[in-house]
A and B are shown apart, each in its own frame.
Chain A
Amino acid sequence: MSLLSIRDLRTEFQSPSGIARAVDGVSFDVEPGEIFGIVGESGCGKSATCRSILRLFGGAAARIAGGQILLDGVGDLAAMPERQLAQVRGRDAAFIFQDPLTALNPTMKVGKQIAEVILRHRKVGRAEARAAALQLLRDVQVTSPERRLEAYPHELSGGLRQRVVIAMALALRPRLIIADEPTTALDVTVQDQILRLLKERRDSLGTSIILITHDLGVVSQICDRMAVMYAGRLVETGRVREVLDAPSHPYTRALLAALPGQVGRDRALTPIEGAPPSLIAPPPGCRFAPRCAHAVARCTLGDPPPLAPRAGAAPGHLDACILDEVSDAAA
């Protein structure tokens, strides 16, 4: 059974110009011990999807408008009252935010911030929580951890701060870690170390990880399966090797074609010509149609096409294009 099953998730943001459907009918599963990557252009709803899982919308006027978020053994997070969801956060599923500069309270010592999550979920005393925090810092390979416990966030480098954030996420040994671009704000050498840390955690404890990234190189390096997101919907999903080696959706192909040479390390997504559509009033039919080189008349009719398996594709490799055959020529 899947650890996490998201079914037809819809999340809306209230904005002055109208309601933005940032997540509009997204479904995917995350298996135990799997690293699941989500890629897509900026603003396509990757963060909104992940934040919906634990309902962490910051100050934004967002709400889950429909769908289910089934966490194995816990229930439907989307339907769960806030009080009950608070028990799940940090214990069953943890979140790693993009920017370690702002993700830590600037006026609270790092050790106290780590201990906080332990004290919340475990019946332990302060001394015990502190000892646990110390061990967590060791686990994430922070040098001189005793001293770091007493440090304030601004006294640490970006990489160290992200390790602290990860230590907090690992504290309760959650089965699921959601990492929203955990390395984007860090420099390249540190990025590698942080990703390795997450991967080791999966390898040793079987923790599932949802990893949002702009970097297809990262996806090919550490993810097992992946999804490509476009304008609030998934357009392709499957095992990383199959999606990257045999992309079937025109958007995925365009993304890969936009990369200079082979997909490898440090290749960020380069923009495709044109801009993604408005999420407030999306175009009818396939949302990629205005930018798609393969578009035909019926692409812009009716509802957006659903994810479906293609004849001859590997099991679990789905895409959301109505064409039977997408020729390589125009991609």
Chain B
Amino acid sequence: MFLAILKRLLMLVPVLIGITLLSFLLLQIMPGDPASRAMGTRASAEELEAMRQLWGLDRPIWVQYLYFLRDCVTGSFGVSIFHKQPIIALVAARLPYTLAIVAYSTVIALAIALPFAIFAAARRGRLADVAIRQVFVVLIAMPPFWLCYVLILFLALGMGWFPTGGVGEGFLANLHRLFLPSLVVGLSTAALIQQSLRAALIDTMQADYIDTARAKGLRGREIFLRHVLPNSLISTISIIGVRVSWIIGGTVVVEKIFSVPGLGSLLIDAIVSRDLPVIRGLTVFFAVMVVIVNLITDICYALADPRVRLE
């Protein structure tokens, strides 16, 4: 197991190099000169030239790439033009909020998806099942920004139960303040997990070994908790993993609307202020996170299902 994880980590090296190359090239083919884009139109020619030299923009492209690679390897991911700080420092300050939303929304999603999936599977094909499916389809289709404003309008402004945005001090304050943004992300995630878990439950209920369990004399609840649910959850692990890595990049809009100072807000601000190194660094960082979540998903899968071995 440990060796397999190590092997997987080593296999990530070429993937990561590919990611850095891609994110570097993507921003390279953006039209316009990065220096003037960063300084705005009022900068003088001398100022622009100084800027280019300072940021190494006067060097050949491959040298620029090597600089970038060096920054990634040393862990700084480059230096922000706007904040004049290593990007890793910016990320470190904001990562906790994004991770909090990722974790919080996943918990919310599971809390919603689990009971509804079980309920729908038990009543498959009947009215309740169909109704639940329709509601969740609508949830998936709903644009997040729209959902944000609806929730702000009703739960924050209307009922006054939650703040309209921002973060607080300490765990409990943030549990309260981050609820709405996490709910927005969590609802569509819940919809996806509910659908796949429902299908997995129905599938598992028809497995032969469920008949075996029944033939032993086990009662419905015992069969469900010991055989049906665990096996169904295992087959939804990968969906949850895919979804979590989606959330990492998917909090951008929500963070902005709820003024959460997370990575998403950082990215939008960087785009607005044309802070190229930050955009590039964040792109790599997001990609690294996704890759790590994938690895964690695979590890969980291998731990939960004895037939699966980590390759």
Contact = CB atoms under 8 A, between A and B. Distances in A.
B215 A95 contact: yes
Given A104-B212, A107-B234, A86 B307 contact: no
Interface in B283-307: 304-307
A56 B210 CA distance: 10
Contacts of A59: 205-206
Interface residues of A, number: 31
A103 B212 contact: yes
Contact of B212 (A83, A107, A154, A165): A165
Nearest to B230: A107
Interface stretch (B19-27, B141-149, B167-175, B216-224): B216-224
A107 B306 contact: yes
A95 B211 CA distance: 9
A99 B208 CA distance: 8
Given A58-B211, A102-B209, A106-B307, A120 B227 contact: no
B207 A154 contact: no
Interface size class of B (residues with CB under 8 A): 20 to 34
A102 B213 CA distance: 12
Contact of B207 (A87, A102, A152): A102
Nearest to A99: B208
A107 B305 contact: yes
Given A58-B211, A104-B209, A108-B227, A120 B218 contact: yes
A291 interface: no
B210 A154 contact: no
Given A105-B231, A106-B231, A107-B306, A88 B217 contact: yes
Interface in A88-109: 88-91, 94-95, 97, 99, 102-108
Q: Which secondary structure characterizes the binding site on chain B?
A: helix
Contact of A103 (B205, B209, B231, B305): B209
Given A90-B215, A121-B217, A107 B206 contact: no
Contacts of A89: 214-217
Given A107-B304, A107-B305, A54 B215 contact: yes
Contact of A91 (B206, B207, B213, B217): B217
User: Which of B212, B213, B218 has the most CB atoms of chain A within a 10 A radius of its CB?
Assistant: B212
A168 B217 CA distance: 11
Contacts, number: 81
Contacts of A117: 216-217
Contacts of A91: 217
A87 B214 CA distance: 10
B231 A56 contact: no
Nearest to A82: B220
B231 A152 contact: no
Interface string B155-184: 000000000000000000000000000000
Nearest to B222: A120
B231 A107 contact: yes
B216 A120 contact: yes
Interface in A265-283: none
Interface string A115-128: 01100110000000
Contacts of B207: 102
Contact of A97 (B205, B208, B218, B307): B208
B137 to A, nearest CB: 25
B211 A120 contact: no
User: Which of B210, B213, B226 has the most CB atoms of chain A within a 10 A radius of its CB?
Assistant: B213
Given A91-B217, A95-B215, A58 B206 contact: yes
Contacts of B218: 86, 116, 120
A88 B215 CA distance: 9
Nearest to B212: A103
Nearest to B214: A56
Interface in B244-266: none
Nearest to B205: A59
Given A103-B208, A105-B231, A83 B219 contact: yes
Contacts of A107: 230-231, 234, 304-307
Contacts of B219: 83, 86
B230 to A, nearest CB: 6
A91 B218 CA distance: 11
A54 B213 CA distance: 12
B213 to A, nearest CB: 7
Contacts of B206: 58-59
A103 B306 CA distance: 16
Contacts of B231: 105-107
Given A91-B217, A106-B209, A169-B215, 15 more contacts: A54-B215, A58-B211, A86-B214, A89-B216, A89-B217, A95-B212, A95-B215, A97-B211, A97-B215, A102-B208, A102-B209, A105-B227, A106-B305, A107-B231, A120-B217
Q: Sort A-B residue pairs by CB-CB distance and give the 4 closest, nearest first.
A: A59-B206, A90-B217, A102-B208, A117-B216
21 contacts: A54-B215, A58-B211, A86-B214, A88-B217, A89-B214, A89-B215, A89-B216, A91-B217, A103-B208, A103-B212, A104-B209, A106-B209, A106-B231, A107-B231, A107-B305, A107-B307, A108-B226, A117-B216, A117-B217, A121-B217, A168-B212
